Amino acid sequence: MAVGIFDSGLGGLTVLEAAQARLPQVDFLYFGDSANAPYGVRDADDVHKLTRACVESLWARGCDLVILACNTASAAALRRMQEAGVPPGKRVLGVFVPLIEALTERRWGDNSPPREVAVKHVALFATPATVASRAFQRELAFRAIGVDVEAQACGGVVDAIEDGDMILAEALVRSHVDALKRKMPAPEAAILGCTHYPLMDRTFQTALGPDVKVFSQADLVAESLADYLARYPQMAGSGAPGYLTTGDPARVSDRATQFLRRQITFRAA
């Protein structure tokens, strides 16, 4: 059995690692669309088309439940896929839900009117496509009022991470944090709205300062997944675990091994 985890490239490995630590009894099949990464600079229709094709591939491989471990895909494709209809016995879930649950301190099923929450000034760091979608702000507005969200499109960060150039990635993060602070000098919380960004969480925290609470998605998504599978154990699926990529398996394996500091071997999708 295996739960599918999809990302445009390698960023979703942060979610996978947290999920494996939280759910050691569950197998996972990871699918990275590295041949088409990054998604963050593509338009919404393109992201939807690519995401749907990859998710359908995971469904066909026996993954009844697929997690979109990609904020851009969650922002641009998830709602359209759900509205178009999901095959019986299949589910696809995004990564915004656990983040907003944590920020607003209310469960997703809580449909009471929006209310004030403790955090008033939030910095959102995300890809250009996620920022343009305003999906995070839209979902947050259903649950909270009085929250000022300042979004910063972090161009180049995902490309640098995918290329293994962490020095460039760190420099870009510092530059983007500086740009955000010019618009919002004193954020109370920061959302790392891309699953690549936990690889740079220390750089974000250092640049933001110790008084800013940084919300990183991996552990939040893993905990939410554990809760979901406890309620719906049949969604663990029947597929075989492993790592798939649309890119060059040897190159992607090298990058993944570098990121997670353990041997990761990808197969061609």
The residues carrying an active-site annotation are 70, 194
Return the structure tokens found at 226.
Answer: 């554990």
Q: How far is CA 37 from CA 28, 44, 156, 178, in A?
A: 21, 14, 12, 26
CA distances from 28 to 1, 184, 220 (A): 8, 39, 17
CA distance 261 to 157: 20
| β-pair partners for 192 | 125
Q: Is the dihedral of CA 78, 200, 127, 10 positive or negative?
A: negative
Please name the amino acid found at residue 60.
A
Q: Is 107 helix (H, G, I), strand (E, B) or coil?
A: coil
DSSP per-residue letters across 117-169:
-S--EEEEEE-HHHHHHTHHHHHHHTTEES-EEEEEE-TTHHHHHHTT-HHHH
